Amino acid sequence: MAPQLPQPQVRKSILKFLRSFLGIIRILQIVFGAGLWVTIAASKYDGSIHFVLFVAVLFWLLTLALFFLTLLDKQDLVPLLGGERWLCTNLTHDAVAAVLYLPAIGVMIFKTGRISYCNLEQYTEPCQYKVYLTAAVFACLCCLAYLLSVIYGACRKCLGETTVI
């Protein structure tokens, strides 16, 4: 078990992570991911939107776990994935998230395009166009945040670093 740090050192460690590139990217991933799944869950959805919701919620929860483990410097407690493998774990998570967000973006763009006719002012029936468009934007922002994290992690891995921050 990691030795307990005195209170000021713990605070410095937390602030160091929150101000780091990865800390800021993780916060953006959590915010954009929450925006995506809340937008979808608060509306009527069907069919392939279930896949988008699955991707959004799964990676939102996994990112939340990675964020808090790194924030609290407890990654050594994760069996098989922690310690020296933590950078590879983060890199793999971000790459898989970016890859799965790409079809989710495609689904949201397809669904948005299919109901774009109801965006007219004369159309009086309930319309999901703005909800789907907002979800597509959040999905794009999530994918971009994960891609930035992949690039950052790959650069750190190529430099031979083993720590996340």
Residue range 99-109, pLDDT digits in tens: 999 999 999 99
Q: What integer is the mean pLDDT of 42-65?
A: 94
Question: With 70 as the cut, is the pLDDT of residue 165 above it?
Answer: no
Contact 58, 101 (CB under 8 A): no
User: pLDDT value at position 87?
Assistant: 86
Place of tokens 């319309």: 127
d(CA 46, CA 44): 7
Q: What integer is the mean pLDDT of 110-121?
A: 85
User: pLDDT value at position 138?
Assistant: 97
Contact 153, 66 (CB under 8 A): no
Those residues whose C-beta lies under 8 Å from the C-beta of residue 24, and which sit 6 or more positions away, are: 18
Query: Is 0.85 surpassed by the pTM of this model?
Result: yes
Contact 164, 86 (CB under 8 A): yes
